[in-house]
Structure 1
């Protein structure tokens, strides 16, 4: 048994963790935003080793992300278990900008974590980050009130609200109070909330009450966890957590955190706001864990700070088989590492059988299209690593492209692509930085080649192999435009886009006229390095 857990436990884009223990099994759900399948699920038996089970919402019946904005879609799932069933509550944001939020909260349930999951039903609520609390056969719905005006609770019978909601907590010291979870320990009710927004001012607080409906008192010692006053730590943005206990009564908090790329050359910024302007988190918001001790009736974390290593629970070690870095597309279904953008994987545009041992992508919309893109991607999980793929593709028109990408959102990506130019297949390197497009032609290529993107901290390097040895491109690109901070697009008084996800590497194909153009990928490999 290992003595420590190394953080983050889920590297790369895995925010808003919600954890539940059922017997000896720990299940953890994370936000997926515009990516399919929705609500990514993870499994552990020792809180140290985790395996990815894939997404719960894996069909249009369970989730429709057509047209959602970048960093819209699925926000802050809440996973609980009661009365012999798993309960999953999640928010879907169709819009969050320009002064309005089009948000709906949904509930789906299943007897087994593997499903089948029931048709989602819409829940009442005027905000996002909804969650459930179960006690003595009753179910209560917690809601963050739109505009961050507090946290309220309301009794549910099925999916119907009973009576009027009760305000549990109006605000918190850092403001922007959200992400509520409720627990009962001994004779106290404990309300855990995120505060301070999801940037470098983020944190989590606890309030308690003897009565379910309050009043609630915030822990006078301060946040349960935060890094806003510890800007030199390697783990930043700590907050939005969820508590869980082991069978032996040990307590842990899973929470989101980030690892900034940008070096601070002139000393530490004095405030979290200044850090927001300098630190770029290409890996997005990740999931970490902290050991919790109970002191004077309050849950506490040493120093209220995130740490790279924390004491492991007294549980037998349970490692999972290490997945291969390489996917040869021999399985009948996509491996859980893969995600698709805004539309679910289905035979209308994706096939693992049309060309055996290949992934065939029928070209979709342009990189700015939000209805039918053809992008299959996986999370970037380390600052250093190499993504490589084999491509067989012959474009028939100038509206057809295919290749590999380092991607954040529609406005920020790098694309090593093959396209038809002057009657020939040309390899090009295309970058879009906040919508500004740079297109560099590299060389004419044949119908089969290998492509490579290497992450070297803040620098991206590219190479290709066309019937011979690898050729390194002299052109380098900035990896940090694939970051939460760079993707967040705010003008004075006007929000265009949030950056809530993280960098991906993937396989991409376009056919803007929808004339049946396709690309075959015979393998893809993503290997991280120290």
Structure 2
């Protein structure tokens, strides 16, 4: 047995799809508007995980330009047919509308970290698709979306057989199950003459759960279990909340485990907020005498510490990847990093960013960021930049999305005492550190202080649960820039719009006029504890 501590993949790793291939377990997670697309982690014992690559090319044209916040690639499903990996996923181009505007794709690879085939579009009934391989046949599961006025946006689970070679539909589409409570994220497993349909129930927030249905025939009818297999919705005191979106997998010794998403909320005066996003957890599963799965530890609540039926095995040396110096754990928005704006060769040991669109752009924001994985964290970086206009800026960011971020930037301002008259081309002005806080209601200037840029500046931020404090080094001492900011606003749960990702820390550069201004960064460090 191996003792694991949940979450096993921490910080923005939602919708885990777990598969076992030989002695290895692999998990694919949602990437939304971020690159690398569909990160994959691997483990031998379910407790210790490492990044194993991603589904390169998952975004058509290698671009998600224009997709809204929390759009892009939702809930990939990873599977293995005995010879190759398969992944199916939806690219969601509308969020918060009845339509979703979804394209569903399938790609395959012989190695999870290897070359994936060019994605092929398949039937796109709704988001959160999955594939089921059985007796040489291939089946596509999906949510059915009804966009019509008065329609149910979550109108049941459907099943379509696909030709294994062409991926064209074979026969018609079958309605497997409808339920008064929202169900999505279907997965199928076969055990003891039953087909088990594992469902995400209740939405992906604090009402989330895992529900199971079963049938003797793959096309149904399916009988729904009387109670959820897993949920935390009835106990807000549990350390693991939002437990849901599960997948059942059998170990080599014929035991069973469940992967699922979860979240670790901060308790704030405005209610619980999950700044780390939704994360990946694993539970041990047993089967009752009636043939239904249940949590091995009893009840339906997620456990933090779990004895899983594996042998503790240390990971081999870190899996090599060919992603270069800006590969994992770096992530970028809506496109992979490109030397045209993220240059690591011109100045060895430094990253040179060329400024492009502003931070609220959905098209060409020059930003590199890494996941924050714990409620206490610290990030710092040294930056060398000489802006000559207020349209140029570069610095350190805490990022959730285009409507939720905090940035400490080296930029330009008018001479002290002069108003914002936009006359930067006159030559007069000063270099400043500008601390800006953005939330759904607008942008606020939190601090503005003069700096001298003959030497590089070291900028930093310290996060202590719901509080973020920015600083810069002066004379070797940390000098605060502005007061404490409410970091909990960078969470899934703040604001009125749907949010599905997690807080990041990183660097960025902006040049709204010429896209020619550059800034050099070195020594980026993100520590989480």
Query: 1:469: how far off?
Result: 2.4
Aligned to 1:270: none
Give the Cα separation in 1 of the matches to 2:95 and 2:405.
Answer: 22
The 5 Å alignment of 1:120-269 reads 120-146=119-145, 147-157=153-163, 158-171=166-179, 175-220=181-226, 222-263=227-268
Aligned to 2:425: none
Aligned to 1:502: 502
Give the Cα separation in 1 of the matches to 2:482 and 2:369.
Answer: 25
Change over 3 Å in CA distance of 1:228–1:339 after alignment to 2: same
Aligned to 1:102: 101
Query: 1:433: how far off?
Result: 1.6
Query: 1:57: how far off?
Result: 2.9
Question: Aligned to 1:427, what secondary structure does the other structure show?
Answer: strand
Change over 3 Å in CA distance of 1:40–1:411 after alignment to 2: same
Q: Is contact 1:62–1:119 with CA below 8 Å preserved after alignment?
A: no
TM-score between both structures, scaled by the size of structure 2:
0.91
Aligned to 1:360: 352
TM-score between both structures, scaled by the size of structure 1:
0.91
Change over 3 Å in CA distance of 1:60–1:279 after alignment to 2: closer
Aligned pairs, number: 498
Give the Cα separation in 2 of the matches to 1:148 and 1:169.
Answer: 11
Query: 1:62: how far off?
Result: 6.0
Query: 1:54: how far off?
Result: 3.9
Match of 1:390 among 375, 382, 386: 382
Question: Aligned to 1:413, what secondary structure does the other structure show?
Answer: strand
CA displacement 1:35-65 (0-9 Å, x = unmatched) = 0111111111110000113432357656421
Question: Aligned to 1:262, what secondary structure does the other structure show?
Answer: strand
CA displacement 1:282-322 (0-9 Å, x = unmatched) = 11111111110111211101211111111132323224669
Query: 1:437: how far off?
Result: 1.1
Aligned to 2:491: 483
| Residue 291 (1) aligns with residue 290 (2) | no
Which runs of no fewer than 5 residues in structure 1 stay unpaired? 265-276, 324-330, 490-496
| Residue 433 (1) aligns with residue 429 (2) | no
Question: Aligned to 1:480, what secondary structure does the other structure show?
Answer: helix
Q: Is contact 2:356–2:515 with CA below 8 Å preserved after alignment?
A: no
Q: Is contact 1:36–1:55 with CA below 8 Å preserved after alignment?
A: no
Which runs of no fewer than 5 residues in structure 2 stay unpaired? 146-152, 415-428
Query: 1:395: how far off?
Result: 1.2
Question: Aligned to 1:513, what secondary structure does the other structure show?
Answer: coil
Change over 3 Å in CA distance of 1:320–1:527 after alignment to 2: farther
Q: Is contact 1:209–1:216 with CA below 8 Å preserved after alignment?
A: yes
Query: 1:371: how far off?
Result: 0.6
Query: 1:160: how far off?
Result: 0.5
| Residue 420 (1) aligns with residue 412 (2) | yes
Q: Is contact 2:53–2:112 with CA below 8 Å preserved after alignment?
A: no
C-alpha RMSD of the superposition: 1.8
